[in-house]
Amino acid sequence: MKPISKFNEHSRRVDREISRAGAVLPKIDQHFQGSLENFAGRCRHGDEGSFRSISKRYFAIDARRSFAVETAVFGLIVMIVAVPVVQSAAAFLGLLQALWIS
């Protein structure tokens, strides 16, 4: 159910002034409340199965494939980031040695 909109009633002079400034906007009833009179509590349609069977099917097939792909991408990112981290550590150790010897 949509809120009811009502247009303001204006005199002709006010209408001319408003039309020069811009369009007249409707007033909308903001105190709308829907009712749950005909709500039966069931939203499921067809034979999709219960939440448990859908979850089992997802974790048996899709989750394994997604986990494998995410693990491969994570490993690739770790390998890419490892080189600069090792080089930074080596440079920091060189700085410490240079400061310690001086």
Half-sphere exposure of residue 99: CA atoms within 13 angstroms, side-chain side = 6
Confidence of residue 70 (pLDDT cuts 50, 70, 90): very high
What pLDDT shows up at residue 64? 82
**Domain residue spans in the chain?**
49-102
Alpha helices by DSSP H, listed for the chain, are 12-21, 51-57, 63-101
**pLDDT bucket at 93, cuts 50 / 70 / 90:** very high
Residue 2: pLDDT band by 50, 70, 90 thresholds?
Answer: low
Please give the average per-residue pLDDT across 71-84, as a whole number.
96
What is residue 53's predicted lDDT score, i.e. its pLDDT? 85
Where does the pLDDT of residue 3 fall: very low under 50, low under 70, confident under 90, or very high at 90 and above?
low
Contact (CB, 8 A) for 28 and 5? yes
| pLDDT, greater one: 49 or 11 | 49
Q: Using an 8 Å Cβ cutoff, are 48 and 54 in contact?
A: yes
> Token digits for 48?
């999709």
Question: Rounded distance, CA 69 to CA 91, Å?
Answer: 34
